[in-house]
Amino acid sequence: MELRDLVNDRPAHLVLLVVDGLGGYADARHGSELEEATTPNLDQLAAEGSCGVALPAGPGITVGSGPGHLALFGYDPLEYDLGRGLLSALGLGVDLRPGDLAARGNLATLDADDNVVDRRAGRIDDARARAIVDRLEAGVSLPDVEVSFRHVSEHRVLLVLRGEGLDPRVGDLDPQRTGVPPLAPTATAPEAERTARLLEQLDAAMREALVGQDADVVLFRGFDTHHDLPSMQERFGLRPATVATYPMYRGVAKLVGMDLLPVVDSLGEQIALMADRWNDYDYLFAHEKAADSAGHDGRRDAKIAAIEAVDALVPDLVALAPDVLCITADHAAPTQLSSHSWHPVPTLLWGEAVGRDAVTSFGERACAAGMLGHLRTQDLLPLMLASARRLEKYGA
């Protein structure tokens, strides 16, 4: 049985709000950030709907944003293994062609011994970073291969290589820590040897171009190439669009066939944009970043405030009158760890046909006892379809 075979064309609206990094955990001192935030509107949805805790890629696995979002869109993130370069390229609107190689990099600084000092070049601002990327674009080239640099945001850079015989099976140059030198390019498959050699030349040319600049090197990671994923249209019969604003999330959305609506400034504007385009789509994905950023920085109060700011906008989401609304995250980001984590993600589903469970407040421990149970994140999409009455009966 393919899920696609069960999908009908009943008019219905499915809305997914990703509160990036929402999940956390209680410890000896505190409840989780979500548990301690004052969230009357989310609590009301939890009381009126059903809750659970979601695992993006199985027990113990911490996911990045790419796999986390693929799972939310109904894709097995272990089956569709995407590199950060590919996701960034898509987010920037760079159309990767078959054979192109993409990677994400950080502008970084080195000490006199060539050890990494700062993997973000002092959290360099956009204007200075853009100037450095322009310098790389103008000054770095390779024989027989087209080299292109694009500024993403702050210290983040996208590299795209276009030419014959490039192979993505090369290791990262980013050592992911300071006090050690950048990693040397290595091939992880014999066919990628030439690509690894090209990256050595590229690294040398970049270092030369960066002499005297605010960054000494670009630490690339996540080399990847063009992928074709089956679209959400094909797999689920949906007409999907996103109002997300960050390149990464727009990138994943584009990869699964979503229309990319214009970039706006706030979650409130994302909701207004959904209202404007309500009749053009039946699946709309909104994304709020602030809780994740606060989680990464270990700022508990900021994460709580970010969650409360989302809560204040929940009535606007409800006013759209979606048939089903899902509010969850792509992964947990506990402030105790200042990073993504493997902890189960609190998840709520709300809508006319969802049904109420016993959960009356939106929090990790409450959700763990909810009707959705401990589910795989990728199972949320079928649950949303069903709750919107978009799935026919299987079997007679």
Site for its own copies in 20-39 (CB under 8 A): 25-28, 32
Q: Which is nearer to its own copies, 66 or 182 (CB)?
A: 66
Q: x/- contact string, 353-372, with its own copies (CB under 8 A)? A: xxxxxx-----xx--xxxxx
Structure-token match 């322009």, residue found: 134
User: With binding defined as CB under 8 A, does residue 153 bind its own copies?
Assistant: no
Closest CA to 252 of 24, 90, 25: 90
Task: Determine the Cα–Cα distance for residues 272 and 275; give it in Å rounded to an integer.
Answer: 5
Residues 6 or more apart in contact with residue 64 via CB below 8 angstroms = 84, 331, 340
User: With binding defined as CB under 8 A, does residue 48 bind its own copies?
Assistant: yes
User: With binding defined as CB under 8 A, does residue 177 bind its own copies?
Assistant: no
324-328 and 14-19 as β-strands: parallel, antiparallel, unpaired? parallel
Q: Which is nearer to its own copies, 87 or 310 (CB)?
A: 87
Closest CA to 236 of 91, 127, 385: 385
Phi, psi of 283 (to 5 degrees): -135, 120
Q: How far is the CB of 354 from its own copies (least distance, A)?
A: 8
Q: How far is the CB of 17 from its own copies (least distance, A)?
A: 19
CB 333 within 8 A of CB 24: yes
Residue type, 217: V
DSSP state of 193: H
Q: How far is the CB of 25 from its own copies (least distance, A)?
A: 3
Of residues 15, 17, 75, 84, which one binds its own copies by CB under 8 A?
84
Q: How far is the CB of 144 from its own copies (least distance, A)?
A: 28
Q: Which is nearer to its own copies, 270 or 378 (CB)?
A: 378
Of residues 36, 78, 205, 316, which one binds its own copies by CB under 8 A?
78
Total binding residues for its own copies by CB under 8 A? 72
Q: Which of residues 300-339 bind its own copies (CB under 8 A)?
A: 334, 336-337, 339
Of residues 63, 160, 166, 258, which one binds its own copies by CB under 8 A?
63
Q: How far is the CB of 24 from its own copies (least distance, A)?
A: 8
Q: Which of residues 234-263 bind its own copies (CB under 8 A)?
A: 248
Q: How far is the CB of 76 from its own copies (least distance, A)?
A: 11
Q: b/e string for 101-139 if b means 16 or more Cβ within 10 A? A: bbbbbbbbbbeeeeebebbbbeebeeebbeebbebbeee
Q: How far is the CB of 101 from its own copies (least distance, A)?
A: 15
Q: Annotate 72-106 with DSSP letters as a single string.
A: HTT--TTTS---HHHHHHHHTT--PPTT-EEEEEE
**Phi/psi-derived region of residue 74, left when phi > 0, alpha when psi is between -120 and 50, beta in every other case:** left
User: With binding defined as CB under 8 A, does residue 396 bind its own copies?
Assistant: yes
